[in-house]
């Protein structure tokens, strides 16, 4: 996409980048080891939350927080995400 935009700038009005560009794919090496699973010390899901928007938001925020070494910093950053900010279908299409 970036190469196309560079070669044909008159045909591109804007770009949407979904993930960082890493041509060497180094960022994919040992991805799971780079994530942190922090102990849960915040509100857990109730049985009634399963398969609801509450569970979707919880999963999104937990995933975002897992990329931070510091659990509190990760949770604070993740708390800014809403379901509207995560469009899995768009991400897949991109």
What local confidence, expressed as pLDDT, does residue 82 receive? 86
CA dihedral 82, 86, 88, 91 (to 10 degrees): 180
Segments making up each domain of the chain, as ranges:
46-94
pTM reported for the whole predicted model: 0.56
3-state secondary structure labels for all residues of 14-28: CCCCCCCCCCCCHHH
pLDDT, tens only, 36-76: 777 776 678 889 999 998 888 888 888 888 888 888 898 89
pLDDT in tens, 1-23: 888 999 999 999 998 876 655 66
Please give the structure tokens belonging to residue 54.
Answer: 């509450």
């Amino acid at each position: 996409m970036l190469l196309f935009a560079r070669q044909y700038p008159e045909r591109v009005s804007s770009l949407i980048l979904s993930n960082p560009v890493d041509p060497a794919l180094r960022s994919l090496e040992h991805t799971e080891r780079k994530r942190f699973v922090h102990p849960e010390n915040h509100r857990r899901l109730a049985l009634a939350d399963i398969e609801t928007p509450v569970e979707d938001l919880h999963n999104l925020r937990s995933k975002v927080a897992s990329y931070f070494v510091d659990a509190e910093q990760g949770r604070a950053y993740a708390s800014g995400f809403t379901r509207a900010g995560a469009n899995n279908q768009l991400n897949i299409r991109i």
